[in-house]
Structure formats: C-alpha cells, structure tokens
Structure 1
C-alpha cells in the first residue's frame, strides 16, 4: 500500500513548536496519569496496537499508568504502524500508535468506524531513526544523504565504494553491503523514505512509501526484526528507531557541511519549523517534517509518531480509559518517562497543551 501524502501545508503556529522541555507542565496536566479527568482512578482493559518503534516507550507508559490506576490494564500489540491503523479502523482496538498519520482514505474510514465522528490524532513520540550498521572494526561511519539513498536503492553495493570511502578516510572498509529493510507496512519506512526522497539528490528514486518497493537486500518484520538481522549479519545496514539500536554502530548523517550524530536534541531541532497539514479537524494534529534541512546540529531522519483514537465511543468506560491513558502519554510525566526509557524527545509544553486539549474532547456517546 502506497500512502498518499498531503502536500498542502500551512505553518504551525509558534505556540505549538516542538522542542525539548522537561521543566514546565501544561495547564491541566498536573494530574495527568492519576486517573480520569475528575481525578478518580479508571478501571477496565484497554486494547491498542501499532508502531513497534514506540514499544519501549509504551512499556514505560503502561507501567506508569497502571501503577497509578491499579484496576486498569493496557494491552499494546507492536504489530507495526500499518497493522495498528488497520486494527483501529476495523474496530479491533480502541486506539492505535502509528509512525505516520492517517491518509485521506484512512481518515474517512476511521471517521466511519467512530460512528461518523471526528478523530483524535496527536503526536506523542518524537525520535531519531538511526542508520544502524554492523561492520567489524568500524566504530564511526559518516554517510552523505546521496550515499544512504544509493545503498538502499541497491546501487552502492560495496563498503569501499568511493561515495563512502571518501567521507571515511581512516576506516578500513571492505566487503559487500547487505541493506536490511522492513518487510511489513511501516511508518518507520515511510519516514525513512520521506527523508531519502527529500534529501538524497535523486539517488533514491522510489518515492515516499510505507511498504518497501525494491527486491534485494534482506527483509525483516518490525523494528526488532531489523535490529536482529543487522546484528546477526556482517556488512549489514538498516534503519530503526534509535531507542532500539542497542550496541550496533550508528552512522552520522551529513547535514550541510557537517556530519551529525543522532540524539533526541538534534531530532527535536528539525521540527522547530515543521508544518501542520491543512484540511484536518481541530483534534487531528498531523505534522509535515522538513527533511531537507542544511543547518548543523540538526538530525533530519526522525519519526513523529501518533496516538489515534475516536472522539466519541459508545462505551463510557472505554472512553474514560482511552482519554486517561492518552492524557498520561502526552503529559510532562509521560513524556519524561519516554525520554528516560526510550530516548525520545519530549514534546514542548505548548504542544503538550494542544495535545491534551484534543484528548480532553474524548467522550462517550449518548
């Protein structure tokens, strides 16, 4: 399934600029995670599914939320972004996590699933996508966008190719390159190919896709599968949420005249001038990311992951569970928990407030 990207965008107001902020809490967030909106603990079982990139963060969110709400259970199946959206749209789960926002067709289907009501879709997780590699003896690796595109296009097949060797004069490069990609529908793939499409100068020619379009290389399911395939191979290279890179080597990416290592701070910096997609409802906060930045200290290969839910549920308990859990996720406490356990970049205070306002509209139908 090739996703249709919205190309018509409008600047995001400065008040919702994404950045790093751990010190201030949005209005009304002080009690987020302590229970429902009236401060009482919620109960019941909540089912979600989606992005495997968020798995480490979701585990931490579940633990924190369930500690504050001992009668509540949150289940999350990390089946991938595409699978999560499909499960949510079909009514199989109450919420979904996704590394890509709903496209136009999915949005219409999701609104029908939600009894014709609006969708609550909020960014909740901002993280670098690391270019991970396993090349014995090579501890540091600089890669240009053109080289990364050529590798995953299948045009650069040897580690000592001049496009790589010239930027790494002190490294002993040799052997065949085995690129590893996701085999499942993946928002991580979409974000990665969005970067390649914008920044590779044409060395990547397959556009922005959610499902890998090229034969060759090695395919692996979910983030954990890519990390495992790169780890167990030699001369392998892949892309994965940085929180799960483990002990693998991670490439520094050329931005302007510099090579930039991934970090939460550098990932957040690329979003400072991001744009919000037009034509969405007030509670549907879909963000376009500028990948072709040329300023230093910015890491452009990032994913902005979303939580998506209905604005109206038939069951009151389900509505309160969804609202309470998502409120915790975007709260200062929840964002700090994700930063500590998954290395993500916390939402700014202003963005926390906007996301919380959207989530607070979740209710049960009459």
Structure 2
C-alpha cells in the first residue's frame, strides 16, 4: 500500500515506553459508574466501560475481537452496537460512544465536529478491517458458484435497466450457463451505509455512463427492495428467487452464488487475497494524516488478480479523551485489533474471512494509537 511517507515518523521505542507506563485511573466517567483501575507490577490493570457502535459489515469481526480482548482484560466491559456506519459516526460525534467502526471516511464537516467531541484533538481513523463486498444472488439450481458480470452490467442491474436473468449482457459473459427467464430483483440497504457508499463508489468509477449517480451512503434510487443493516439485506435476499444484493462477503448466506466482476481481461471472484491486492495497489487519500490512515481505493483498476469492490472499514476513535481510563482502554482495544492475533481471528473464514493488514500498515497504526492521550 502506498501510504504517505510522513506517517512513518513515529518510532517503535515510544510504543514500548508508553506500553510500560503505569497509568492508575481516577475521576473518569467509568469510575463514577463503579469502574476503577488497580495497579500491577506489569502496568495498569484496565477496567471500566468501553461502548462502541457503527458498521454492521464488520460485526462478526468485532465480536471476535471483543472476545479476544475480554480474555486479556476481563474487567473492561467492551461492547459494540452494529447500527450502521452513518449512525455509528453520529453516536461517536455526540459522545455516546468511545470508539466505533465506519465503512466510509469522515467528511470535512464530521471532522470539525469530531475535533470538538475529542476535546480539541482529532478523529483517529485506522483501516483495520479489509473485506470484499460480495454481490450475491438467489438463483437455486443454477449450477455455478460464480456468475461473470461486467461493471456496466452490474450497474444496469442495480439501476433497473437490466430486468431479467437471461438478458443478453449477462448471457454473453456466461456462455456455458443456462440462465432462467426470471425477473431480477435488486436489493439495497435502506439505511445510510458505508457499504452502500463503497458499492456506489465502485459503480461510479468502473461502470461509466451505465451508473448515472454519484457515490453516496444513501441509496440513490427510490421504490426499490431494501433491508435495514446487513441483516435486513440478507433477509430480503433470502425471501425470493431472482434477488441480487451487495453485502459484506462474510455474511453471504450459505449456498448462494456470488458475482465474479470484470477486471481488465478477466473475471475475478471475491477473496481476501484479491481484496488485499487492490488495497496494496491504492494510494493514500489526499487528506490522510498520521492519525487518519485513509485510502483512495483504485476502483477502476485493471490489474490482474484484484477485486475492486472492496470495503475498508475504519476503526474510529479520538486522539484525546477526557479521562486516562478511557484513553488507556481505547488504546488497548485498538492495539489488540491491530495485532497479528486480532487480525488472524477476523481472517478465520468461519468468522469474517477478512484480509489481515500488512506489517508496514501495522507499524503506522501502532504509531497512531500511541498518540492517543488525555485532555
């Protein structure tokens, strides 16, 4: 991944020094709720509450991370409400949560609001969940695991221009498949969603005039079949034959087919490796900093072996917290998520099948985490 060189200035010596610091916590919001810290020889024993909320796409991964984190820090009551990216950012900005997940980077207005919420600090955005967005369809008995679809064909389907499964555009890319004369029923998210923003961003970049809409967290077409959060999309997808939907690959129902998308001269099915490949081929976003490690994904790439409908879900936090307890708890959780153990837990196919971050990115993430401090 071609991330900004300025991010690499933080040294690992600082990380080691801070990790060994004794941080007895007093007077925090968690203390008022009955939490407290008990110093040990190894450092500060963590305790208190650690509420989070956000993207439903990474729910399975977050659940596995919280399980591993709780094994290490049983006195911290960490939680995550998968309310969706948009609502998750709203709750974080309002101060209702201490951390969260978002499938879309903060915009300029949200960053300004975040600075106020973060006691004069900044919003921290760390790309800790990398996963393909699958396009799944409900066509029992089709006899193939993947249907080949060009970007323009996908755009035509979700824009309502291609309405039956045996349409010539689909048949041309799948000459050996007997396609049914079944109506296509596109399914989208009904709530504001980073998954929707990532999917529409791909269509806008790769499908040309076939997708006449801008990228948006809100689905741009009215009167469609939809579902709230990822669970609602899955329920709608399962409800009738002929449906097709975009959703995090980890939550595709068993037995459903998925799309291999046209990339250059080939069709590429989703996989963690293909998702990681497109992230590695993508530059840092123009406004990325050493605290906001945001990425400008190469949606229209033609590089072999890449799957461009990928979701990079950011873990959001503050660079400054009101209490030492909150700051230390957040740092510990983010450090666990970024660790090799944490990333491998989410990469387990039975959990989320995500792509683990690279060692170089982990170094940058750790440097950002160590900048989290107390007001």
Residue 251 of structure 1: which of 253, 256, 259 is its match?
A: 259
Partner of 1:347 in structure 2? 357
Residue 221 of structure 1: which of 212, 228, 252 is its match?
A: 228
Please report the TM-score for the alignment, with normalisation by the length of structure 2: 0.87
2:95 is equivalent to residue 88 of structure 1:
no
Cα distance in 2, alignment partners of residues 57 and 33 from structure 1: 25
Partner of 1:240 in structure 2? 247
**Structure 1: tracts of 5 or more residues without a match:** 1-9, 18-25
Cα distance in 1, alignment partners of residues 15 and 358 from structure 2: 13
Cα distance in 1, alignment partners of residues 133 and 63 from structure 2: 19
Q: In structure 1, the residue corresponding to 2:335 is in which secondary structure?
A: helix
Partner of 1:283 in structure 2? 291
Q: In structure 1, the residue corresponding to 2:275 is in which secondary structure?
A: helix
User: Shift of the alpha carbon at 1:157?
Assistant: 0.8
Partner of 1:5 in structure 2? none
Change (3 A) 1:350 1:159: same
Partner of 2:37 in structure 1? none
Please report the TM-score for the alignment, with normalisation by the length of structure 1: 0.90
Partner of 2:26 in structure 1? none
User: Shift of the alpha carbon at 1:320?
Assistant: 1.0
Q: In structure 2, the residue corresponding to 1:96 is in which secondary structure?
A: strand
**Structure 2: tracts of 5 or more residues without a match:** 24-41
Q: In structure 1, the residue corresponding to 2:173 is in which secondary structure?
A: coil
Residue 56 of structure 2: which of 52, 58, 63 is its match?
A: 52
Cα distance in 2, alignment partners of residues 149 and 36 from structure 1: 55
Contact 2:136 2:244 in 1 (8 A): yes
Partner of 1:300 in structure 2? 308
Q: CA RMSD in A?
A: 2.5
Contact 1:36 1:324 in 2 (8 A): no
Residue 317 of structure 1: which of 304, 316, 325 is its match?
A: 325
Cα distance in 2, alignment partners of residues 325 and 161 from structure 1: 49
Change (3 A) 1:320 1:360: same
Cα distance in 1, alignment partners of residues 108 and 83 from structure 2: 22
Contact 1:34 1:68 in 2 (8 A): no
2:133 is equivalent to residue 133 of structure 1:
no
User: Shift of the alpha carbon at 1:39?
Assistant: 5.0
Partner of 1:177 in structure 2? 184
Change (3 A) 1:137 1:268: same
Higher relative contact order (Cα pairs below 8 Å, separated by 6+ residues) = 1
Residue 172 of structure 2: which of 155, 166, 177 is its match?
A: 166
User: Shift of the alpha carbon at 1:275?
Assistant: 1.7
Contact 2:111 2:122 in 1 (8 A): no
- List per-residue Cα deviations over 1:196-250 (Å, max 9, x = no partner): 0010122111110110010233110111111221122210000000011131211
Cα distance in 2, alignment partners of residues 43 and 172 from structure 1: 59
User: Shift of the alpha carbon at 1:16?
Assistant: 8.5
Contact 1:118 1:281 in 2 (8 A): no
Contact 2:198 2:310 in 1 (8 A): yes
Cα distance in 2, alignment partners of residues 137 and 34 from structure 1: 58
Cα distance in 2, alignment partners of residues 34 and 349 from structure 1: 22
Partner of 2:126 in structure 1? 122
- List per-residue Cα deviations over 1:266-296 (Å, max 9, x = no partner): 0000012212223344211111100111122
How many matched pairs?
Answer: 348
Residue 163 of structure 2: which of 157, 160, 180 is its match?
A: 157
Cα distance in 2, alignment partners of residues 238 and 315 from structure 1: 43
Contact 2:331 2:369 in 1 (8 A): yes
Q: Which runs of 4+ in 1 moved over 6 A?
A: 14-17, 26-30, 32-38
Contact 2:101 2:315 in 1 (8 A): yes
Residue 106 of structure 2: which of 102, 118, 128 is its match?
A: 102
Partner of 1:12 in structure 2? 3
